[in-house]
C-alpha cells in the first residue's frame, strides 16, 4: 500500500511523536516547505514538553491520530526523533492508518513507527531528514533537499558511487522490500509484537554516537535472533561519531562489520549516505529495491502511487 503523491497547495502536518521540539529551530525549516508550495499545520505536540517527551503518551498518541484522521493533511512530517515512539506503538489505531494512508516521513527514533506501521498495515513510509533536526541545520544540502521531489511524483531512486564511495563487504545481487533504519531501534523491537521482519528483505542499518563495541553488541543480537541470516541483503548506512575511545583497547567499526557481515550468504554494501549525515538520501521503506554489489548500486521503486495525473515514472539521482 502506497500513499498518494503530494501536489502544490497541499497541507502537510508536522508533529512530534518522540522528544520535544525547539520551536525556534523548527521554524527555520518552514521556508523550505513553503517554497514547494505546501501549507503547514502544526500538531499539538509542537512546543509541548513532558520531561524528555513532547507531551505525555496520551497527548502524543492523540496528536498522531488527529493528524492521520484529518483529511486536509496530505502528509505527516515528524519534526524530530530522540526518544519515545516505542512507548505509543501498541496503542496506535492501525485500522485508522489503513483507512487514511498518507505520507509519513522521518527517521532515527521514528524507525520504531516505520516498522510497526509497515508490518501492521503494509503502508510504505519514508526514511528521510526531518524539519527541526535536519532541514533547519545550516549544513542541510541541496541533494537532500531535491530528493523531497519523490513525494510529488512516482520516481525510481538509483544510488551509485556518484553520491558516495561504496564498499563491498559481501558480493552478490539481491532484491526485496527495503526495511530497517536506526540499528538501536531495530534491536529494541526484538521480542515485542513489532519485531522487525527481515526475511527476504533488504535491511538498512544506520546509527549515531555508538562506539564499535555497542555496534558489535547490537549486530550480535540481530545475529542471535536470526535477522541478519534471513535478510536478502544488507545496506550499511552512515555510522557517525562511532569512533572508539582512544584510551581503551577496541576493534574498529570496519572490523565489527567484517565479523558479522562478511560471512553472510547475501550481498552487503556499505557507505550509503543514509542516516544522521549530509547528504541524507531519503528512501521509501516497504518499496521494492535491488542491491547490486558488483554494480555498487541500490535501486528503489517509487514510494507514492501512480494516479494517472502524475508524471511518468523516472529515475531520480
What pLDDT does 286 receive?
98
CATH class of 159-300: alpha beta
Q: Which of 130, 139, 131, 146 is nearest to 182 (CA)?
A: 130
**Can the peptide bond before residue 279 be classed as cis, meaning omega within 30 degrees of 0?**
yes
Q: What pLDDT does residue 313 have?
A: 59
Structural contact between residues 112 and 194, judged by C-beta atoms closer than 8 angstroms: yes
Catalytic residue among 127, 184, 188, 206: 206
d(CA 6, CA 313): 15
Residue 308's pLDDT is 61
Question: Domain 11-140 is in which class?
Answer: alpha beta
* Catalytic position from the list 127, 184, 210, 276: 276
pLDDT of residue 142: 96
**In sequence order, which residues have a C-beta less than 8 Å from that of residue 206 and are 6 or more positions away?**
181, 182, 183, 236, 237, 238, 239, 274, 275, 276
In the chain, CATH 3.40.50.10740 sits at 11-140
**pLDDT at site 310:** 54
**pLDDT at 114 (0 to 100):** 98
- CA 110/CA 102 separation, integer angstroms: 16
Stretch(es) of the chain classified as CATH 3.50.30.60: 159-300
Q: What is the pLDDT of residue 242?
A: 87
Q: What is the per-residue pLDDT for 144?
A: 97
Which positions ≥6 away from 147 have C-beta within 8 Å?
A: 128, 157, 281, 282, 316, 317
Question: What is the predicted pLDDT for the residue at 314?
Answer: 63
Q: Are 38 and 45 in contact (CB under 8 A)?
A: no
Would strands 202-208 and 233-240 be described as parallel, antiparallel, or unpaired? Answer: parallel
Residue that is written with C-alpha cell 497541507 in the block: 11
CA distances from 172 to 66, 96, 145, 250 (A): 45, 40, 31, 30
Cα torsion 118, 124, 128, 130 to 10°: value is -80
Q: What is the pLDDT of residue 246?
A: 82
158 part of the active site: no
Mean pLDDT in order along the chain per 10 residues (317 residues): 97 98 96 97 98 98 98 98 98 98 98 98 98 96 97 96 97 98 98 98 97 97 98 97 84 96 97 97 98 97 80 64
Annotated catalytic residue 206:
yes
C-alpha atoms less than 13 angstroms from C-alpha of 168 in its C-beta half-sphere: 15
Can 48 be counted among the known catalytic residues?
no
Amino acid at each position: 500500500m502506497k500513499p498518494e503523491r503530494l501536489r502544490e497547495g497541499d497541507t502537510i502536518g508536522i508533529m512530534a511523536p518522540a522528544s520535544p521540539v525547539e520551536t525556534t529551530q523548527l521554524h527555520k525549516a518552514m521556508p523550505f516547505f513553503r517554497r514547494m508550495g505546501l501549507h503547514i499545520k502544526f500538531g499539538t505536540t509542537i512546543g509541548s514538553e513532558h520531561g524528555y517527551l513532547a507531551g505525555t503518551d496520551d497527548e502524543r498518541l492523540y496528536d498522531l491520530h488527529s493528524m492521520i484522521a484529518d483529511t486536509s493533511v496530505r502528509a505527516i512530517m515528524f519534526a524530530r526523533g530522540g526518544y519515545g515512539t516505542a512507548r505509543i506503538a501498541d496503542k496506535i489505531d492501525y485500522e485508522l492508518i489503513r483507512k487514511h494512508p498518507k505520507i509519513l516521513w522521518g527517521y532515527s527514533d521514528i524507525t520504531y513507527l516505520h516498522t510497526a506501521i509497515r508490518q501492521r498495515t503494509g503502508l510504505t513510509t519514508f526514511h528521510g531528514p526531518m524539519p527541526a533536526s535536519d532541514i533547519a541545520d545550516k549544513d542541510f544540502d541541496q541533494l537532500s533537499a531535491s530528493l523531497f521531489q519523490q513525494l510529488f511524483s512516482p520516481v525510481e531512486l538509483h544510488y551509485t558511487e556518484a553520491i558516495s564511495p561504496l564498499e563491498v563487504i559481501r558480493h552478490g545481487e539481491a532484491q526485496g522490500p527495503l526495511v530497517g533504519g536506526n540499528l538501536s531501534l531495530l534491536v529494541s523491537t526484538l521480542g515485542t509484537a513489532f519485531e522487525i521482519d527481515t526475511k527476504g528483505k533488504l535491511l538498512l542499518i544506520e546509527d549515531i554516537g555508538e562506539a564499535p563495541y555497542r555496534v558489535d553488541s547490537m549486530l550480535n543480537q540481530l545475529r542471535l535472533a536470526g535477522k541478519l541470516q534471513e535478510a536478502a541483503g544488507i545496506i550499511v548506512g552512515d555510522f557517525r561519531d562511532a569512533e572508539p575511545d582512544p584510551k581503551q583497547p577496541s576493534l574498529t567499526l570496519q572490523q565489527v562489520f567484517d565479523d558479522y557481515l562478511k560471512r553472510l550468504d547475501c550481498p552487503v554494501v556499505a557507505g550509503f549516505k543514509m542516516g544522521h549525515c549530509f547528504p541524507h538520501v531519503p528512501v521509501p521503506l516497504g518499496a521494492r529495491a535491488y542491491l547490486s554489489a558488483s554494480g555498487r548500486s541500490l535501486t528503489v521503486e517509487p514510494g507514492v502511487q501512480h494516479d494517472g495525473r502524475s508524471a511518468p515514472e523516472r529515475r531520480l539521482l
